[in-house]
Structure 1
Amino acid sequence: MGRLVLILIFFFSVSVWAQDALQGLKDFFQREGYVVKVDANRVLIDLGREKVRVGEEFTILREGKEIVHPITKQVIGRESQQVGVLRVEEVQDNFSHAKLIEGSPREGDRIRLLAKDVCFDGSEDWFFKLRSVLPELKREKTCTYTIKELKDGIGVEYRNSPVAFFQTQQAVVQGIERASLEDINLLARPRLLRALPSLPLSADLCDLTGTGKEFLVVLFSGRVEVYELLKNDLVKRFDYSLPAGVPVGLRCGKIGTDGRDLVLVNMVSGDSANSLILRSVGDSFVPVRRNIPYIMSVLDKSRPKETFIGQRFNFRDRFGQTVRLSLEGENLRETGAFLAPRGFRIDSAFYFGDYLVFTDSIGRVRIYRGDTEVFSTEEGFGGSYTLVEIPLEQGKVNFIFNPPGTGARFLNFNMAFVVKNHTGIVQRFLDIVKYSRGELFVIGERRKDLVFIRPIRGGNFEESVQAVLTTKDGRVLVLTGRTGTLAIQNRGEVYELELRAL
């Protein structure tokens, strides 16, 4: 037990130090101060030797009115206007003299570092991490600032001179073996971000602008809504009314040619799939292609065009033929068969590394590597409030679609989350769709082709989990749904999970 505790302390240190390095870099490039005195074109600022270097430039900002959130009525910031630029010429211990390049500053104006060009020299892994806090980071060698990946940390050079260093890892403790994910019990603490106006059917995180910024795109009955992700909130940006039909799923992926995510809206109309593809244009969606006879998905967002798959669906055969798809302009075509395992359903399918994970028609989570099944649960998983009513000669049956899981990373471990929604008594006996609770399970790898699945402590939610998603910077979002006796009582909520190891 003591050995495991020591291992966990080590990995917590690595994780925390890595986050500290990212936060340190963010703070470095967001340095701020104030104008203390203005004398013609000479400006005195309150940043001293440890904060600035000769030659660095700062934007001068003047604060205006408070910005009040229209929903919460809380003050979320202030309007600011750029009123000038200054360049540091002389640095003292507690203050500096700067030359006014342009504008007309006043005493009390705020200043912020103006880092026009920042380059990175290092691995793709760290380049991806740093882009989450420095979106304009470039892979060049002639920038004013250069971030370098070093053996035990991240360094910053200003005009080829070292100016900052942020440590990212401890030296490896001799004799300590790496703990496995299976040794760790995960605890999830949900934090409510926002209540949704009605029952969410599906959702995904989408780069709608091609800039790397993610938006939460939520599918409701009859419409799609787009939310901007903030640190502690979601702000609705726009919505789109869907054509006639029953929406049953939503996925995003870079399947086009312009570097942005397109939105795959899966629908059933009549007795078969009748889906569409949307592209964002400003604060709106426009259809790229309609009347698609497949339920579609991008199974791996790191390989969007390679894993753009469609599966036919109709009331008689349910899920059937599976094909690879490609989109060129508005031309959607089949490019060959996707050799899916028997019982494959695309509604819940996703790739976790080399493993193909899906929930089959009897509720088993099945995991394949290539054409070999490496794991299958015995108990039922999946289920959701996303369904289509299939008419029969006598009455009807509710065909339920399952939410897909998602890959994630925690304490340097790769893992995946899958959903298990527990049916209520009325569903089991009366075919009324109702859930008693939703639960998250984690999938991990013991070693190659040997995986495990187990519940996350605290990962229980009232009624149904409709979607579980992971942002590029590692945030885990969960969308839940509840139903009432009347349709107007249906609603949903968005949570962010705070993961801890026990």
Structure 2
Amino acid sequence: MQYIKSLFFLFCFILLLLPARSYATSDYFQSFKENILSYFPVINGKIVKVEGNELILDKGFRDGIRKGQRIVIFEETVPLIHPVTKQVIGKSEKIVGLAEIINVEENSSKALVLEGNSFRQSDSLLFKIPKSKVKVLFAQGYTEWALGEAYYRELKNTERFELIDAPVNVDDIQHLFKNSKGADILLLLKPSKQNNTIKLSQELYWVKDRKFISSSEIELSQVAIIELRKKYASLIVPEGHTLLSFRLSRSINRIATGNFDGISQNQILIASDKEISLYLVDVDLKLRSNYVIPVGGDILWFDTGDIDGDSKDEIVITVKKEDRVISSIIKWMGDAFHETSRIDEVFLRIYDGRLIAQAYSISNGFEGDIFYILPLNRTYQKLEKLKLPVKANIYDFYVFGDVIFKWEDEGFLSVYNNKGIPLWRSSEPMGFGQQYEKKTGIAMLSLGKWKVQSRMKPLSNGVIVIEKKPLLGFVNAQLLGYRSSKLQLLQWTGIGVEQTNITDEMSGEIVDYSVSSDRLFVLVKPPFGMNPKRLLQGESPFESILHILSFKY
């Protein structure tokens, strides 16, 4: 028995000597952090000499000083006296200027005055890099959400910065400066793909004078990308509660968000087949403008985005009226929306910031190749063809690197590689959008239907899609409608698709949705298009519901 006890204690002792296994994620962003932190060490020192608009400091690179840092110049004034003990506990400070380090030696440095003038040499003239948190406008641009979120959290954990979220999918420097929200520094991430790796560059700018500070770069391996996706992709879900809900007319069937006048970020478009209304979102919806669609009809597609680079989003709308398809580009000019281009028999879509198109025919619906275009007044200039690994219609797909997500005619969602080889297919149909007969001109002869599937939007390394559950099977879905629906995020992991619920199941059919930086807008029609409770209240039961949910990336 004593022998067994001895072996047990020996075993425990050996375990204590073994190094503990670490489960922490590798710090892939260490060089990024070190770079930005190097501009903000907490330093106090003296200005030992004034030479016109240049200052000689008593600190150098041994103390953490580096070129490009900015220092606060101040003077110590009257002593601070403790009210009880009457002892001197410090001196009050008077800020007199701002300077930037332009040259560094081991124990001294030189700074150029940016603000303030007529400095005189004195023992009370001091400088510092304050210990207060630095306000950083964090712009991850088009960087994958999981990667941006990982670095965001690493920076936040340093407790040196107050991070301010920039608008999503925006990497235009001037636009970011205009919407800097009181930040001191602009941090912009820019991704580029290299085979199976992703190169990220970090650009730093002073917001006050829009001056470039520095740029650094890291490369994330496939292993690192997969690890970060597993850890942070699950964060791309709503915080779980509805902020606001609004009852709208049943005729409302499209929504979109954007910055249409170049001023306000909290703008939403609510559209019917005849009219588009612009609202400002606050604690309520505040109507700003109504716009009558010049050629009304079934809205096939409703897109927004800045396609001309002026920091104002345009509206791109495609409608079907009888046997015609008409696309329009609509822009805010002055104090109202105006149509700037109208193109007949062409489908339009904004894809990765550019305008793409596909021809329409009465017999096939979608006809021919997808191509980039330059819109003109009543026509367009056809540009290069959009090359895809599989045959697709203009509204059916989204490409992520080496894979393409694509709707199939039967309502399934598939993933293909860049050679057109299928990698994954949903286990059952996820629902349909609009369907129209292919017409031949011969009575009683049907060629089937052409279909416009539900909206597919990119988020992280995947797409948001609407999953719909019909009342009585997909065969009767168009006639009877849908029992419930929800939004899902589908992400390609390299070996399969990971599905994450973005919303709980909602009663009825989600007909459209839009995503802003911190809000999710969901437009829902109840089963059979009506709410019986409203009938009992003596009101019209036919309605659509707009839900605004808090959204956390």
Class of the TM-score when normalised by the shorter of the 2 chains? 0.5 to 0.7
Decide whether the 8 Å contact of 1:326 with 1:333 is kept in 2: yes
Q: Which residue of 2 aligns with 1:181?
A: 230
Deviations, residues 12-40 of structure 1 (Å, cap 9, x unaligned): xxxxxxxxxxxxxxxxxxxxxxxxxxxxx
Q: In structure 1, how many angstroms separate the alpha carbons of the residues matched to 2:470 and 2:464?
A: 19
Q: Confirm or deny that 1:480 pairs with 2:480.
A: no
**Structure 1 residue 289: Cα displacement:** 1.7
Change (3 A) 1:324 1:430: closer
Q: Confirm or deny that 1:437 pairs with 2:481.
A: no
Opposite residue 521 of structure 2, the aligned amino acid is L
Q: Which residue of 2 aligns with 1:267?
A: 319
Three-state SS of the structure 2 residue aligned to 1:380 is coil
**Structure 1 residue 183: Cα displacement:** 9.4
Q: Confirm or deny that 1:147 pairs with 2:182.
A: no
Q: In structure 2, how many angstroms separate the alpha carbons of the residues matched to 1:279 and 1:50?
A: 54
Q: In structure 2, how many angstroms separate the alpha carbons of the residues matched to 1:484 and 1:182?
A: 42
Q: Which residue of 2 aligns with 1:248?
A: 300
Q: Which residue of 2 aligns with 1:107?
A: none
Q: Which residue of 2 aligns with 1:461?
A: 506
Change (3 A) 1:158 1:241: closer
Deviations, residues 408-467 of structure 1 (Å, cap 9, x unaligned): 34xxxx4432111112228734851411111222212323xx440424175311111122
Q: Confirm or deny that 1:495 pairs with 2:548.
A: yes
Which range moved further: 424-433 or 393-402? 393-402
Q: Which residue of 2 aligns with 1:209?
A: 261
Opposite residue 147 of structure 1, the aligned amino acid is I
Q: Confirm or deny that 1:278 pairs with 2:330.
A: yes
1:85-164 to 2 correspondences below 5 Å: 131-132=166-167, 138=177, 146-147=184-185
Three-state SS of the structure 1 residue aligned to 2:312 is coil
Q: Which residue of 2 aligns with 1:408?
A: 459
Q: Which residue of 2 aligns with 1:106?
A: none
Q: Which residue of 2 aligns with 1:221?
A: 273
Q: Which TM-score applies when normalising by structure 1?
A: 0.58
Decide whether the 8 Å contact of 1:202 with 1:248 is kept in 2: no
Q: Which TM-score applies when normalising by structure 2?
A: 0.53
Structure 1 stretches lacking a partner, 5+ long: 12-48, 57-86, 88-117, 160-176
Change (3 A) 1:272 1:155: closer
Change (3 A) 1:130 1:333: same
Which of these two proteins has the greater Rg computed from alpha carbons? 2
Q: Which residue of 2 aligns with 1:417?
A: 464
Deviations, residues 279-326 of structure 1 (Å, cap 9, x unaligned): 1124422111224312211122xxx22xx2112334421322233232
Of residues 399, 421, 429, the one that matches 1:380 is: 429
Q: Which residue of 2 aligns with 1:162?
A: none
**Structure 1 residue 265: Cα displacement:** 0.8
**Structure 1 residue 398: Cα displacement:** 8.3
Q: In structure 2, how many angstroms separate the alpha carbons of the residues matched to 1:316 and 1:266?
A: 18
Decide whether the 8 Å contact of 1:323 with 1:336 is kept in 2: no
Three-state SS of the structure 2 residue aligned to 1:428 is helix
Decide whether the 8 Å contact of 2:389 with 2:417 is kept in 1: no
Three-state SS of the structure 2 residue aligned to 1:432 is helix
Q: In structure 1, how many angstroms separate the alpha carbons of the residues matched to 2:398 and 2:140?
A: 27
Q: Which residue of 2 aligns with 1:363?
A: 411
How many residue pairs are counted as aligned between the two chains?
368
Which range moved further: 398-407 or 284-293? 398-407
Decide whether the 8 Å contact of 1:237 with 1:283 is kept in 2: no
Decide whether the 8 Å contact of 1:203 with 1:251 is kept in 2: no
Q: Which residue of 1 aligns with 2:385?
A: 337
Q: In structure 1, how many angstroms separate the alpha carbons of the residues matched to 2:462 and 2:437?
A: 34
| CA root-mean-square deviation | 5.1
Q: In structure 2, how many angstroms separate the alpha carbons of the residues matched to 1:349 and 1:197?
A: 30
Q: Confirm or deny that 1:325 pairs with 2:372.
A: yes
Decide whether the 8 Å contact of 2:372 with 2:386 is kept in 1: no
Q: In structure 2, how many angstroms separate the alpha carbons of the residues matched to 1:123 and 1:202?
A: 28
Q: Confirm or deny that 1:349 pairs with 2:349.
A: no
Q: Which residue of 2 aligns with 1:30?
A: none
Q: In structure 2, how many angstroms separate the alpha carbons of the residues matched to 1:122 and 1:325?
A: 28
Three-state SS of the structure 1 residue aligned to 2:404 is strand
Q: Quick one: higher RCO (CA 8 Å, sep 6+), 1 or 2?
A: 1
Q: In structure 1, how many angstroms separate the alpha carbons of the residues matched to 2:331 and 2:390?
A: 33
Q: Which residue of 2 aligns with 1:78?
A: none
Q: In structure 1, how many angstroms separate the alpha carbons of the residues matched to 2:371 and 2:139?
A: 35
Q: Confirm or deny that 1:238 pairs with 2:284.
A: no
Q: In structure 2, how many angstroms separate the alpha carbons of the residues matched to 1:440 and 1:446?
A: 19
Of residues 244, 247, 255, the one that matches 1:193 is: 244
Change (3 A) 1:252 1:369: farther
Change (3 A) 1:416 1:198: same
Identity of aligned residues (%): 14
Deviations, residues 142-178 of structure 1 (Å, cap 9, x unaligned): xx9843769xxx999999xxxxxxxxxxxxxxxxx94
Q: In structure 2, how many angstroms separate the alpha carbons of the residues matched to 1:299 and 1:278?
A: 17
Decide whether the 8 Å contact of 1:294 with 1:313 is kept in 2: yes
Structure 2 stretches lacking a partner, 5+ long: 1-19, 29-90, 99-115, 117-134, 153-162, 189-203, 210-225
